[in-house]
Chain A
Amino acid sequence: MQREEQFYFRTDKLSVGYHGKPLLKDIELGIYKGQILTLIGPNGSGKSTILKNIIREMTPVGGAVMLEGKDIQNYGSREFAKQMSVVLTERVNTELLSCRDIVAMGRYPYTNYFGRLTKEDERIVDEALESVSALDIADKDFSQISDGQRQRIMLARAICQKPQVIVLDEPTSFLDIRHKIELLDILQKMAVKENVTVILSLHEIELANRISDLVMCVRSDGRLICGTPSEIFTDDIIRELYGIKSGSYNCLFGCTELERPEGAPKVFVAGGAGSGVSVYRRLQHFGIPFSAGILAENDCEYQVAKELAAEVASEKAFMAFSDNAFERACELIDDVSYVIDAGCPIGDTNLKMAELLEYAQKTDKIIFCKPTDKEIRHIKQMLAETGT
């Protein structure tokens, strides 16, 4: 109980929904000042609805949102505007307003009755423009810049409002990867250096993993899971959250793999140290089921092979390849007629790889060394002709 009191921002049995019907019930979360909370979850799960309740665009169906121990409904509108600023998904259509005009509107709660900007206000506007590196487009018409630039201008506007809490609804949607990273960098700096609390929703879970102090998963069935990134970003929770059935998502690397090719393996890939990753993905592309080996479990390639290969001959982390693993790999080679040598370098722990390739040669397998795309296509054709 005492701990709860320390939270800068928290929700108290918050229920959100439309027309008095709760969509999500009993949301309990709390963050300290200067922390970053990220909402993740599939489309339509209610992330935006939660955010709308936080920014007072909607009133909660039940419970309350507390800011500094005070119900947000009890803040005056100007006072609240100084506490919280927003970047929304709604499209802003303006005419004949420069980017600087838009950003300067962030000073709204601070300016006088006629909205006159003081020198100090102008300085803050410039600062905000600079922090999103948009000084060069400041005097362009807002309706004539790209979506990515618009998003940065809207962020500058929110920064200009000098809030304690900044709320962003899917701020990265229209941005390319460089601007996504830049935007999250800015948010992180604001949180760490200026102690601003950040609440946002994201689609890119790997980015959410990097930036958040606390993550809340909003599932389509209305269940909520809240925790630190290391608690949330496990393969199982993410797979379940988004209902991923075909393909996979690897939390360790934040990489996505498509669906594993079905059937008994037709090709064996001898890889390691990342050499086989592109081969696996090409084989998946052509729908050729394959087996792989020998991979140490601490090999980065193991994570990909695990998701895509029908069978993997593996060895425990940091161990030299044992006879056991070698025999397993030989069995896998026996089942196929094609072997691909991905070109893994050979060192102390994987000396067995050379032996394995010799074994393949001895058993008259067709061996491709570092095959090109054309050669893999060729394998596919040959497989189709032999009818296996």
Chain B
Amino acid sequence: MKKVFRYQIVYLLLAGLFVLAVFMNINTGNVNISFGRILRIIFCGAESGAAEYNIIWKIRLPRLLSAAILGGALALSGFLLQTFFRNPIAGPFVLGISSGAKMFLAVTMIFLLRYIPSMPMWAQVAAAFIGSVLSLLYVLLFAGKVKSMSTLLVIGIMISYICSAVTDLCITFANDSDIANLTYWAMGSFSGSSWSTVRLSAVIVFPAALAAFLFAKPIGAYLLGEGYAKSMGIPIKFFRVCIITLSSILSACVTALAGPISFVGIAVPHITRMMMKTAKPGVIMPAIFLGGSVFCMFCDLAARTVFSPSELSIGTVTAVFGAPVVIWLMLSRKNSV
């Protein structure tokens, strides 16, 4: 019973932080708008047409929502990859999946923009998805051969370098306007978010996350290892394909819409597990999603306020908080590395 109490506390805490993050994100910015006015603008639709109205409705709200949705997606995708590889430091960024998505997206963007003026957003997501699946297949090819988690990590980083090299090569031969577009995007940021970003990410992320939650039971059994999972009646091949597809969809969506964002996928699931003191997927998966949302919203807040008016890339902020977690994880399990 003590355990259930702990779960409830953590969920309440996360919900509280979520509300706080929403509140702070909407209330902070280069233009100072009083809180009462914000409430009036949002709930009463007051001052329609005014600059403040546009700032709230067209900039702050979509940005906030996409940070929340994509942050949750990123954390969940990291959790799925950690389950799949039985490796606590697996994540879309360290395994080179984000870089693969980025490369494929850059290539398609450069070649496609010659024929059409702008690339539709869904096509960006599709390109990123193909890219992440391709680099994931590469990782899988090696993962079968290496058992040690640090080796897998090194392979992921190498794949990530190769992809970056190819991306740079493409940029060298691209038009100036494309470059501006690409470098900005490659930094990773929620600043370009519009309502269509929110809509598209909601349409992709929510069903994928729901599907992932429905796998909570087999994921739990999979924690014991493949042999045991199979003996309990899990169709192992089908399960593995589903997990890998879901995590690719989630991370590809993030990469396409906000650029590569590092370490959220590793740090958030671990912090959540530590807070809950359990690894039962049914309990922690929703918390991980919520935690990812909160984490990304606060990071985005930091990205746009710390050195305001200039903005940091979101990856810079997440790395500052996320990388120490990875180091700590590596050190705390000397034996199994």
Q: Which residues of A contact B (CB under 8 A)?
A: 55-57, 77-82, 84-86, 88, 90-98, 101-102, 105-106, 108-109, 111, 113-115, 161
Contact = CB atoms under 8 A, between A and B. Distances in A.
A109 B221 CA distance: 11
Contacts of A106: 232
Nearest to B335: A93
Contacts of B225: 88, 90-93
Nearest to B214: A113
B330 to A, nearest CB: 15
Interface of B: 86, 88, 214, 216-217, 220-221, 223-225, 227-228, 230-235, 273, 276-280, 282, 336
B230 A57 contact: yes
Nearest to A89: B227
Given A102-B224, A105-B221, A114-B216, A96 B233 contact: no
Contact of A57 (B220, B227, B277): B227
Contacts of A77: 230, 233-235
A-B residue pairs, 6 tightest by C-beta:
A81-B233, A115-B217, A108-B232, A77-B233, A96-B279, A78-B233
Contacts of B233: 77-82, 108-109
8 contacts: A57-B227, A77-B235, A86-B228, A90-B225, A95-B273, A108-B217, A115-B216, A115-B282
Contacts of B217: 108, 111, 113-115
Contacts of A161: 232
A85 B273 contact: no
B47 to A, nearest CB: 47
Contacts of A85: 231
Given A105-B221, A109-B233, A90 B227 contact: yes
Contact of B273 (A79, A91, A96, A111): A96
B163 to A, nearest CB: 31
Nearest to B333: A95
A86 B221 CA distance: 14
B277 A96 contact: yes
B39 to A, nearest CB: 39
Nearest to B86: A93
A115 B231 contact: no
A191 to B, nearest CB: 19
Given A81-B232, A96-B277, A105-B232, A115 B227 contact: no
A80 B221 CA distance: 16
A56 B234 CA distance: 12
Contact of A86 (B223, B231, B273, B277): B231
A92 B224 contact: yes
B273 A55 contact: no
A105 B231 contact: no
A84 B223 contact: no
A189 B224 CA distance: 27
Contact of A96 (B220, B278, B282): B278
B217 to A, nearest CB: 4
Nearest to B230: A57
A161 B232 CA distance: 8
B208 to A, nearest CB: 18
B231 A55 contact: yes
Contacts of A94: 223-224, 279
A97 B216 contact: no
A78 to B, nearest CB: 4
Contacts of A78: 233
Contacts of B88: 95
Given A90-B225, A105-B224, A95 B231 contact: no
Given A81-B233, A90-B227, A94-B224, A114 B282 contact: yes
Nearest to A95: B279
A106 B88 CA distance: 24
Contacts of B273: 95-96
Given A97-B280, A108-B233, 7 more contacts: A55-B231, A78-B233, A82-B233, A90-B225, A97-B279, A105-B228, A111-B217
A93 B228 CA distance: 12
A257 B228 CA distance: 39
B278 A84 contact: no
B220 A115 contact: yes
Given A77-B234, A97-B223, A105-B221, A92 B280 contact: no
Contacts of A102: 224
Nearest to B270: A95
Contacts of B228: 86, 88, 90, 92, 105
Contacts of B223: 94, 97
Contact of B220 (A92, A98, A105): A105
Contacts of A57: 227, 230-231
